[in-house]
Amino acid sequence: MRIPICTRGLDDNICMSGSRVSLVIAETALELVPDELSRHSSVRNHARRLQKKSSEILLDRSFHHSAMISGKIKLAWKRGRPDIAHFALLEALSTPLYLEGMLDVYIHTIDDKVIKISPDVKVPKSYFRFEGIIMKLFKEKTIKNNEGNKTLLELCDNTTFEYLINNIIESDNVVGLTSVGARSTADYVAFRNLIVKKNVKCAFIVGGFPKGHFSECTSELFSCSYSIERFALEAHVVIARILYECEKILLHANNGSRGI
Amino acid sequence: MRIPICTRGLDDNICMSGSRVSLVIAETALELVPDELSRHSSVRNHARRLQKKSSEILLDRSFHHSAMISGKIKLAWKRGRPDIAHFALLEALSTPLYLEGMLDVYIHTIDDKVIKISPDVKVPKSYFRFEGIIMKLFKEKTIKNNEGNKTLLELCDNTTFEYLINNIIESDNVVGLTSVGARSTADYVAFRNLIVKKNVKCAFIVGGFPKGHFSECTSELFSCSYSIERFALEAHVVIARILYECEKILLHANNGSRGI
């Protein structure tokens, strides 16, 4: 019994775009508590429990809701959700595509910082441990392995989405995944951008924020954009599906068809 | 441009097994701190921080590692990972298959309790909130909606995996997903068990523990078992892939092919 995969119609004129893809979790709601909120009682109480200064802890709506609705920060509805980054990152870094070294992962934050994820990084599943690592990263700018000879995570300050795309990833095919994109499916998006488009460096962009859409600064850089479901999906679901479909093409391309 | 899906070869003799499937996250490392460990200092300190009794908090290796390696509990390596249940559940409950009412989800725990998940349940992404709900569930046996007229989560004590399969789900096709199963792919597993097998009530079983394999009590109930990758995958990755492939069949079966 064999199950077909989407290799039908391939010929010399359409070939795979390369052996690597990039994933950017963009405008991610991951940041330190901004100065405007650092004296609010909900923030100070939470910081005390974590035995940190207010300025060293992550903005988190689960604990700082009352501070966030005080009107002191812009775009409050799009911020303070470090759990989204945690899930999205775990989803991406658990895929065979990443584990086989064929995926580069970046987090771009809502306040224009970029976190570069090295190959072979394991993010802790425990949120408590993840939070500790990210707070350390924001303070020290790098997280190294236990031996201190390899950088696992690197934080680049003042790095816009545009700079990330043009100067770090150097992508020439920026694929936005958004509920306002062209209606499609994950398998088609992977097929179209990894097989039909020749020799392009492809970056898939997924939003790391709880609601709303990408800002214009981000979406104007998209080469194309797709919606892979009839309604908005969680970031981690979009990541799971698009990477799985990329993997079918990039990791299993030579099989023709798969199954037992 | 159209991408084929696996409807090829369908005829009157092979049809879909029905409009619903079940997912069981089995032998899940989710339990209250057992009596043997409740007096250990790591447990008591953690309980104090959560303002709970030791017997009311979840066993969690992130906090209770030193208690767990004391040798006082059996199978310690397979226990104390509530984060696995959190991720696995979030993965399943975020899928269109669940959101469209075509998926029943159950957690079977390592100490033989079963959590029934109603339709339309949203599990909080924040681990802190998830932990609070599960501790309340273990204490009160049900979690209701805000209006108190609908049960969202229900805990059944002393419920074995066998009882769940035979008397609650009443499944006649129990599909184990395990790294020691027959080598296959998620699309083949969905195809084989939802299309080729006629009129059967299908339950997919994924392990909710950090390492090792299903116990014999569980695996002897499998009708068949598959490994969908060359190496062991995280539970949430297996769930994401198998449900996505089921969804392609169950939600998009009438489309013939998909794409734009």
Q: Which of A189-198, B157-166, B193-202, B243-252 has the lowest mean pLDDT?
A: B193-202
User: Is the C-alpha dihedral spanning A89, A90, A92, A96 positive or negative?
Assistant: positive
CB contact under 8 A, B4 and A4: yes
Interface test with A, best of B1, B2, B3 (most A CBs within 10 A): B3
Which residue did the predictor score with more confidence, B258 or B83?
B83
Q: Which residue of A has its CA nearest to B82?
A: A126
> Which range among A242-256, B115-129, B140-154, B220-234 shows the weakest confidence by mean pLDDT?
A242-256
Residue numbers in B near A4 (CB within 8 A): 4, 6, 8
**pLDDT single digits (tens) B18-64:** 578 999 999 999 999 999 999 999 999 999 989 999 999 999 998 99
Sheet of B173-183: strand order equals B142-144, B151-156, B114-117, B103-109, B21-28, B202-207, B173-183, B224-227
The answer to whether B187 contacts A259, with C-beta atoms less than 8 Å apart, is yes
% of chain B at pLDDT higher than 70: 89
Kindly list the residues from chain A whose CB atom is less than 8 angstroms away from the CB atom of residue B60: 126
Number of other residues whose CB lies within 10 A of the CB of residue B188: 23
Closest Cα in chain B, distance from residue A163 (Å) = 31
Q: What is the pLDDT of residue A15?
A: 40
Q: What does the pLDDT read at residue B227? A: 97
Q: B87 vs A125: CB contact, 8 Å cut-off?
A: yes
- pLDDT number for residue A251: 83
Residue of B nearest to A63 (CA): B128
**B251 band by pLDDT with thresholds 50, 70 and 90:** confident
Nearest to B94 among A83, A90, A234 (CB): A234
At B220, is the pLDDT very low, low, confident or very high (cuts 50, 70, 90)? Answer: very high
Task: Please report the pLDDT score of residue B12 as a whole number.
Answer: 34
Instruction: Tell me what the pLDDT averaged over chain B comes to.
Output: 88
How high is the pLDDT of residue A18?
56
Identify the residue whose tokens are 């908005």.
A232
Nearest to A186 by CA among A218, A228, A226, A233: A228
Please tell me which residue of chain A has the smallest CA distance to B84: A125
Predicted local confidence at residue A5, as pLDDT = 33
Task: Please report the ipTM that was assigned to this predicted complex.
Answer: 0.88
The CA distance from A154 to the nearest CA of chain B, in Å, is 25
pLDDT confidence of residue A198: 66
Residue B246: pLDDT over 90: yes
* Separation between Cα atoms, residue A198 and residue A70, nearest integer Å: 50
Which of B61, B125, B239 is most worth mutating to test chain A (most A CB atoms within 10 A of its CB)? Answer: B125
Over residues B3-26, the pLDDT tens digits come to 333 333 333 334 454 578 999 999
Of A135-139, B120-124, B162-166, which gets the smallest average pLDDT?
A: B120-124
- pLDDT value of position B195: 81
DSSP string, B184-209: --HHHHHIIIIIISTT--EEEEEE-S
Q: What is the pLDDT along chain A (260 residues), one digit of tens a residue?
A: 333 333 333 333 344 545 789 999 999 999 999 999 999 999 999 999 899 999 999 999 999 999 999 888 999 999 999 999 999 999 999 999 999 999 999 999 999 999 999 999 999 988 989 999 999 999 999 999 989 999 999 999 999 999 999 999 999 899 999 999 999 999 999 999 988 776 678 999 999 999 999 999 999 999 999 999 999 999 999 999 999 999 999 887 644 444 43
Q: Is A168 exposed, middle or buried (0-12, 13-18, 19+ CB in 10 A)?
A: middle
Confidence of residue B234 (pLDDT cuts 50, 70, 90): very high
Can you list the domains of chain B with their CATH numbers? 3-30+81-258 (3.40.1280.10), 35-78 (no CATH)
Torsion A155-A160-A164-A167 (CA) sign: negative
Which chain B residue's Cα is nearest to A97? B229
The answer to whether the CB atoms of A241 and B240 lie below 8 A apart is yes
In the beta sheet, which residues pair with residue B28?
B109
Within 8 A of B260 by CB-CB distance, chain A residues are 182-184, 188
pLDDT at residue number B254: 44
* Record: contact A83-B126, CB cut-off 8 A: yes
